[in-house]
Amino acid sequence: MQFKIAVLPGDGIGPEIIDAGVEVLNAIGKKYGHTFKYEYGLIGGVAIGKEGTALSDATIAMCKRSDAVFFGAVGDPKYDNPLAKIRPEDGILKIRKALGLFANLRPVKVFSMLENASSLKPEIVSGVDFIVIRELTGGLYFGKPKKRWETSTGRKGVDTMAYSEKEIERVLRVGFELARTRRKKLTSVDKANVLETSRLWRTIAHEMAPHYPDVQFDDMLVDSAAMRIIQQPKYFDVMVMENTFGDILTDEASMLAGSLGMLPSASLAAVPKAGTRIFGLYEPIHGSAPKHAGLNEANPIATIMSASMMMRYSLGLVKEADALDAAIEKTLKANLRTYDIMGPGSKKLGTKEMGKAIAERV
């Protein structure tokens, strides 16, 4: 089969990790007789530099006419000035919104070979396998008003956390449905002891739960969830939460897997269902890591795992995705590692070499 993939490498290590991902996809294509047609576009700091905007309408249109979007990272210290009018991050926020990608799936799976790479004790992280669903187009990231201004008594700033019933219901539905395909346990994370949006969230969750009697449902306050993730991560199967909560808790959770470079993600515009293809954007959860850019040392595994999720959810290539997951596991079993996940006796590979090593094992 032939597939059209929009590729947005972005800034920093983005182009390097995306190259590694494309190499692996091509290896899959060769082995299973598929053609991936790539169309490249600009996003983030590079787009600001060349097009004056972090994401152009032409790039959005290009994404809309593809089967899926493969995204690297955005962010450039050049734009760190808090007074900057436009910033690279605007690009990713805008594309999530423009494509209606409200459900961001972030699997947290600890490979047995990497138990020692975690900053936590092996007995805590061993066997961890949960997935965070982060609401991606609402909440504190997008609520209005959102601004800064001068007052007679000093400067002020405001961000707004706002949610409609519809926004909450659809992302919770992704949680319940996904739980059904796994260990049938859903934890809804909120701050209902303080926030009105969380009380609405919790009310809707409790209204939906009886419709999923096969799913064991509970809710947990976000501060408590932050603790539980490092105290007893095996407690979790599927977690669902507000945008900002999900941003923070998934960086935390990546430490279970040994590195920020090990967590992939899928951003979807609909509830995933076995046997159907849905449009999505696929990206590692980490950022552009400017310090590591251009050095051929960044870990491309989160990006390569994102390519696997792309095949699974958007391209209908389930056996190919399974084959890629197995190839990643084989590579780690061979003790081939990037700098961030080194263990006893590991051989250190660069970004490109790690891509090749996985492609060879496909």
Whether 223 is catalytic: yes
Is the CB of 242 or the CB of 247 nearer to Mg ion?
A: 247
Catalytic residue among 223, 273, 319, 322: 223
Distance CA 69, CA 38 (A): 10
Q: State yes or no: residue 43 binds ligand IPM (CB under 6 A).
A: no
Is the CB of 241 or the CB of 336 nearer to ligand IPM?
A: 241
Is the CB of 27 or the CB of 253 nearer to ligand IPM?
A: 253
Q: Is the peptide bond before 300 cis (omega within 30 degrees of 0)?
A: no
Chain position carrying tokens 């760190």:
80
Distance CA 198, CA 213 (A): 23
Catalytic residue among 4, 129, 235, 251: 251
Q: Of Mg ion, ligand IPM, none, which one sits near residue 336, judging by CB under 5 to 8 A according to partner kind? A: none
Element (H, E) at 357: helix 351-360
Chain position carrying tokens 């696997």:
308
- Cβ atoms 138, 121 nearer than 8 A: no
Q: Least CB distance from residue 260 to ligand IPM, whole Å?
A: 10
The binding track of 226-265 with respect to ligand IPM, each residue x by CB under 6 A or -, is ---------------------x------------------
Catalytic residue among 191, 219, 237, 313: 191
Is the CB of 10 or the CB of 29 nearer to ligand IPM?
A: 10
Which own/partner contact pairs does 245-249 have at CB distance under 8 Å and 24+ positions apart? 245/134, 245/189, 245/190, 245/191, 246/104, 246/106, 246/132, 246/133, 246/134, 246/135, 246/136, 247/134, 249/132, 249/189, 249/222, 249/225
Whether 247 is catalytic: yes
DSSP state of 158: E
Whether 212 is catalytic: no
Site for ligand IPM in 290-349 (CB under 6 A): none
Is the CB of 259 or the CB of 331 nearer to ligand IPM?
A: 259
> How many Cα atoms sit within 13 Å of 303 on the Cβ side?
33
DSSP state of 104: E
Among 43, 47, 92, 229, binds ligand IPM (CB under 6 A): 92
Q: What angle do CA 52, 297, 69 make, to 5 degrees?
A: 45
Q: State yes or no: residue 287 binds ligand IPM (CB under 6 A).
A: yes
Among 103, 114, 161, 285, binds ligand IPM (CB under 6 A): 285
Whether 40 is catalytic: no
Tell me the residue number closest to ligand IPM, measured at CB: 89
Q: State yes or no: residue 91 binds ligand IPM (CB under 6 A).
A: no
Tokens of 282: 């696929």
By rule CB under 5 A, what count of residues binds Mg ion? 1
Q: State yes or no: residue 247 binds Mg ion (CB under 5 A).
A: yes
Note the residues at the interface with ligand IPM (CB under 6 A).
Answer: 74-75, 89, 92, 247, 285, 287
Residues annotated catalytic, as ranges:
141, 191, 223, 247, 251
